[in-house]
Structure 1
Amino acid sequence: MLGRTDDISTAAGNWLAQFESALTTSDEIQLRSLFHSDSYWRDVLALSWNIQTINGADAILKELKARAISVSPGRFRIDPDRAAPRKVMRAGATAIEAIFKFDTAEGRGSGILRLTPDAGDVRMKAWTLLTALDELKGFEEQLGTSRPRGQSYSRDFRGPNWLDLRKAAAEYADRDPDVLVVGGGQAGLSIAARLKQLRIDTLVVDREARIGDNWRNRYHALTLHNQVQVNHLPYMPFPPNWPIYIPKDKLANWFEAYVESMELNYWTGNEFESGAYDETEGRWSVVLRRADGSPREMHPRHVVMATGVSGIPNLPDIPGLKKFAGTVLHSSQYGDGEAWKDKKALVIGTGNSGHDIAQDLHSSGARVTLVQRSSTLITNIEPSAQLAYAAYNEGTLEDNDLIATSMPLVLAKRSHVMLTEQSKKFDQELLEGLERVGFKLDYGEGGTGWQFKYLTRGGGYYFNVGCSDLVVKGQIGLIQFSDVHSLVAEGARMKNGETIAADLIVLATGYKGQEHLVRKLFGGEIADRVGPIWGFGDTQELRNMYTRTAQPGLWFIAGSLAQCRINSKYLALQIKAIKEGLLPNVALAAKPDAAFA
């Protein structure tokens, strides 16, 4: 049934027509008949102005009724410029997948519909539905035919040229930005570029001395662990001759070129010291410490925290650490291993940073022992770690980003359980070898794998690029933290009385959550108002990410290059909508989504 392309397109087109008719006429019976009882609707701003997932036909019907009258969604049609409707396998199920577009009273959107047969009905019904806002009517991005004109053909030869105007704009000598972005990595650059296209005056501040230093200053051997086709920034894809795995310094240099090409206002060497919100004025008073040490007070309407998933280095209270006579570094302070040739090193922590640093030290001639604090997920970088990005090997980036956005949490978890089982088979020999030498393995909560470890805790896994093989071979030592009695001047005193000597201890112990940084910079009242950041609480969305928070004018963006590229679009649209009076500046009280597994 429905094997031909024209049949698939007809089925998807018919469903969209019936959906629009049911919304327009408020026909509850027809609307209910279009969804499976076990179905999912993810709305990204288009109908609700929220990022939310609704589960089940009854809950979906209730939410659609509440939103459709005021938003007036219509003109649902298959998008002829995107991938044609097709049969796909998603989360272990075969479905018809169709990319469509639509209008609302205030904007234009894109969506993805997935249809599957109903055992008790001959009709195809919606299994998943995505509705996502693309642009606001009258406030479209300055791209293509809408690009800014710049200086005209009739020039004032005595007036300022483009460079003069750029320098003046970036100085902020006589004005404040509408938006202050704190952090100039992929998160900060992505949201600044999006806001620029929406004509929102935006300044990025970063404490590093040079654009890209947040990557450039990491340990010497670092490259990205996912492949180049996944990692583009908005508007400017990487050149087609770039390597599959991007070296840190190459990415850092690209950040500099990106800031110049996208004309982003960016201040290096600036530390964000504090912020207080004026409820009456609807503005922040923030204090920056300039590169020359002088303070600068600014009054933006919005502050976007783009400092990463993690904020402050986590320095655990390890018994005896202060007695250690050698050098102690957090992983964020580690550069390279050349200075430690023929020395002994303990690396505490077995995530990506711990393994990479251990391997770097080993390759420099140090004698290294890994100290495992808790069970860790290990997966080979190829092919296992790349399975999650398989879709990006074909099709357009725009389509694949929309597909990634469309997956509700329940089905994303189901998909990653399947991917994790597949990777375990690929990696069986390595995993068995690690278990033989006493390495403690896990596969994430419920077997959901490395990506959900990242989404819930920001770490706890390692993409093997060789260090695990060295551990299996005994070329890098391994001990369990639970077997350590305490650290002493010479190194680690084990519970059996043995002392493992060390000249260097590297604490690859991760970072504290962003809420700790919020408390430090904005105070306890605002931190308590915002609550936890990142991970999943009672809802099916990341907490306080890419969306309005309980604190007016305070936003958060973090994650991989792909996450920042995708979600910066939606964060920028919300700030623009607030500026134009289309949206309140504060989130409504959070409510749990419909029950989910």
Structure 2
Amino acid sequence: MLDRTDDVSIAAENWLSEFESAIAKPDESALKKLFHPESYWRDVLALSWHLQTINGGDEILRELKVHAIRAAPRDFAIDPDRAAPRPVTRAGTVSIEAIFKFETAQGRGSGILRLIPDAADGNRLKAWTLLTALDELKGFEEQLRSARPRGQSYSRDFRGPNWLDLREASAQYADRDPIVLVVGGGQAGLAIAARLKQLRIDTLIVDRETRIGDNWRKRYHALTLHNQVQVNHLPYMPFPPNWPVYIPKDKLANWFEAYVDAMELNYWTGTEFESGSYDEADGRWSVALRLADGAKRVMRPRHVVMATGVSGIPNLPDIPALKNFTGTVLHSSQYDDGEPWKGKKALVIGTGNSGHDIAQDLHSRRADVTLVQRSSTLVTNIEPSAQLAYAAYNEGTLDDNDLIATSMPLVLARRSHVMLTEQSRNLDKELLDGLTRVGFKLDYGDGGTGWQFKYLTRGGGYYFNVGCSDLVASGAIKLIQFEDIDSFVADGVWMKRGERLAAELIVLATGYKPQEVLVRKLFGTDIATRVGPIWGFGEGQELRNMYTRTPQPGLWFIAGSLAQCRINSKYLALQIKAIEEGLLPRSA
């Protein structure tokens, strides 16, 4: 492997030059020499108009030949405004990593190339991974890439509308419907609406909460984000440099309000999306909204973006005997503060992040807390273990790190997270041994892939320890297994071993129903069946129906962490813009 900076850059430049020549024809024999037998190509809209990952040299060649003629990629070059080519270690493999730029017939893109030697071909450097990602559409660039808008002239019309008048009129939609209706005003909704705004797509966000940011503000009192501030910026407006490493929920909620105002996003609070039906001939939705004052409004947008994150429908497990309990039962979404439960006995059912945090909050208010485990749970200390996955964001630019995150194919991402999980287990050994001693059931994800893949497949099943695990291990917070409960009674539970465990509060930290349930409720069975599963990985190597065209034209989904929403909102917005400009069909 090359070490000198000049040699590394030359190797990357030579590969890109050969690739451009080979793909222009396309020349199968020349392309074959450029890809390692173990190689991966992830294309994010640039050549295929899909989010897709292709594994193996032969498969990559077949796909490249199909898409290269239409897309006409060219002008591949190392991007001088990005991190310079360098040796890196990704998924345990040392490679030369280079960030490049290129153009296609319709757009401009960025990519990442990683080269490794092919021992079967005299250690010739060949592509191990290749990312090609669309950044912008020619002729339809984002507004922020243009000169600042003049707005109102310095020569003012004192009798005409001012900026605030125009903003309020725009947000009222008195004489028009939006092109895009975004359902949900959390980080997903804000990110996609901000991207669409910059692409000049008329977009309205609707959210059932009464105030922007309430989807964070109304969560339990002690909540802060579990990953660090440098990972979590929204598009275009990074958090100020004086912000804390872990952002408190109310601080984030207030930022959401400021973001909507600063980015001039149209946002209706207190608005419930009740139903939607699609007119195939007209290519529009008919959606029913219930407004804050109880009035109804029917709109006909061309696109509906579901940005509700989890469905918002609490998952209430079927526990028939729970009706016997005469105390207070709350779902975790209803829990706010432990102060009213000071000196009282509480059971918290569920051992994910919410269950642990609520148990710890109750304990801090001097409640007598028992944590009830229903299934094995991954536990990792919030520092340093849980932050290992974000190590790249501690250096370099946000744009570079987002592109690096986008570039990792699923196979290698799994490999990386197996290694990180093993590292975490070693770092957290003392804590994990303590939990095992008190009977806590641990797991490390499917195939040892850790918390990140639990999130991507299940949306939960893990806990970032900020102290609750230590309390459980010490016995300060008691632990029982759900399977050891015989029945619920008026004042608590009877255990199978014949003792009563008293309780005045039961908190169900049992998560939420999947998105498919919400789709069926809002759009009906036919559309839900047509769309199919949402989130998680199916037979392909991309999240199902996320950030891309779905089998239902005009229906889109975006969800995830702030980082996921920041990254993928760009690609979702580009697809909507391409459809609106006639560059892309409505259906995948």
Partner of 1:160: 161
1:57 aligns with 2:57: yes
> Hey, which bits of structure 1, 4+ residues long, moved more than 6 A?
none
Partner of 2:477: 476
Partner of 1:269: 270
**Inter-partner Cα distance in structure 2 for 1:322 and 1:560:** 35
1:242 aligns with 2:238: no
Shift of 1:312: 1.1
1:74 aligns with 2:78: no
Is contact 1:225–1:381 with CA below 8 Å preserved after alignment? yes
Is contact 1:13–1:78 with CA below 8 Å preserved after alignment? yes
Aligned residue type for 2:196: L
Partner of 1:308: 309
Partner of 2:26: 26
Aligned residue type for 1:576: K
Partner of 2:83: 83
Partner of 1:202: 203
Partner of 1:593: none
**Inter-partner Cα distance in structure 2 for 1:104 and 1:151:** 37
Q: Tell me, what secondary structure is at the counterpart of 1:470?
A: helix
Shift of 1:2: 1.7
Aligned residue type for 1:52: Q
Aligned residue type for 1:2: L
Q: Tell me, what secondary structure is at the counterpart of 1:105?
A: coil
Q: Tell me, what secondary structure is at the counterpart of 1:320?
A: helix
Partner of 2:356: 355
Partner of 1:595: none
Aligned residue type for 1:307: T
Is contact 1:180–1:304 with CA below 8 Å preserved after alignment? yes
Shift of 1:61: 0.3
Gaps of 5+ in 1: 588-597
Q: Tell me, what secondary structure is at the counterpart of 1:296?
A: strand
Partner of 2:565: 564
1:26-52 Cα offsets, whole Å, 9 max, x none, are 110000110011100000000000000
Aligned residue type for 2:416: S
Is contact 2:311–2:517 with CA below 8 Å preserved after alignment? no
Shift of 1:371: 0.3
Partner of 2:455: 454
Q: Tell me, what secondary structure is at the counterpart of 2:552?
A: coil
Q: Tell me, what secondary structure is at the counterpart of 2:432?
A: helix
**Inter-partner Cα distance in structure 2 for 1:359 and 1:152:** 56
Shift of 1:258: 0.1
1:97 aligns with 2:105: no
1:399-455 Cα offsets, whole Å, 9 max, x none, are 000000000000000000000000001100000000000000000000000000000
**Inter-partner Cα distance in structure 2 for 1:280 and 1:29:** 46
Is contact 1:326–1:503 with CA below 8 Å preserved after alignment? yes
Shift of 1:153: 3.2
Aligned residue type for 2:546: M
**Inter-partner Cα distance in structure 2 for 1:162 and 1:233:** 24
Is contact 1:372–1:481 with CA below 8 Å preserved after alignment? yes
Shift of 1:310: 3.9
Partner of 1:505: 506
**Inter-partner Cα distance in structure 1 for 2:491 and 2:146:** 68
1:173 aligns with 2:153: no
Q: Tell me, what secondary structure is at the counterpart of 1:378?
A: strand
**Inter-partner Cα distance in structure 2 for 1:3 and 1:429:** 39
Q: TM-score if structure 2 supplies the norm length?
A: 0.99
Partner of 2:231: 230
**Inter-partner Cα distance in structure 2 for 1:98 and 1:159:** 53
**Inter-partner Cα distance in structure 2 for 1:439 and 1:319:** 25
Is contact 1:311–1:516 with CA below 8 Å preserved after alignment? no
Is contact 2:207–2:271 with CA below 8 Å preserved after alignment? yes
Aligned residue type for 2:167: R
Q: Tell me, what secondary structure is at the counterpart of 2:234?
A: coil
Partner of 2:391: 390
**Inter-partner Cα distance in structure 1 for 2:436 and 2:402:** 37
Is contact 1:319–1:486 with CA below 8 Å preserved after alignment? no
Q: Tell me, what secondary structure is at the counterpart of 2:112?
A: strand
Is contact 1:318–1:486 with CA below 8 Å preserved after alignment? no
Is contact 1:330–1:506 with CA below 8 Å preserved after alignment? yes
Q: Tell me, what secondary structure is at the counterpart of 1:512?
A: coil
**Inter-partner Cα distance in structure 1 for 2:15 and 2:154:** 51
Q: TM-score if structure 1 supplies the norm length?
A: 0.98
Q: Tell me, what secondary structure is at the counterpart of 1:111?
A: strand
Shift of 1:144: 4.3
1:216 aligns with 2:196: no
**Inter-partner Cα distance in structure 1 for 2:397 and 2:147:** 22
Aligned residue type for 1:80: P
Measured at CA, do residues 422 and 310 of structure 1 come closer, stay the same or move farther in structure 2, by a change above 3 Å? farther
Q: Tell me, what secondary structure is at the counterpart of 2:312?
A: strand
Q: Tell me, what secondary structure is at the counterpart of 2:156?
A: coil
Shift of 1:497: 1.6
Aligned residue type for 2:381: N
Q: Tell me, what secondary structure is at the counterpart of 1:511?
A: coil
Gaps of 5+ in 2: none
**Inter-partner Cα distance in structure 1 for 2:344 and 2:120:** 70
**Inter-partner Cα distance in structure 2 for 1:62 and 1:120:** 22
Aligned residue type for 2:181: L
Shift of 1:158: 1.9
Q: Tell me, what secondary structure is at the counterpart of 1:311?
A: coil
Shift of 1:309: 3.3
**Inter-partner Cα distance in structure 2 for 1:486 and 1:53:** 49
**Inter-partner Cα distance in structure 2 for 1:146 and 1:521:** 41
**Inter-partner Cα distance in structure 1 for 2:25 and 2:232:** 43
Shift of 1:461: 0.2
1:460-510 Cα offsets, whole Å, 9 max, x none, are 000000000000110101000011112111111111121111000000001
Is contact 2:271–2:289 with CA below 8 Å preserved after alignment? yes
1:265-302 Cα offsets, whole Å, 9 max, x none, are 00000000000001111100000000001111100000
**Inter-partner Cα distance in structure 2 for 1:263 and 1:309:** 26
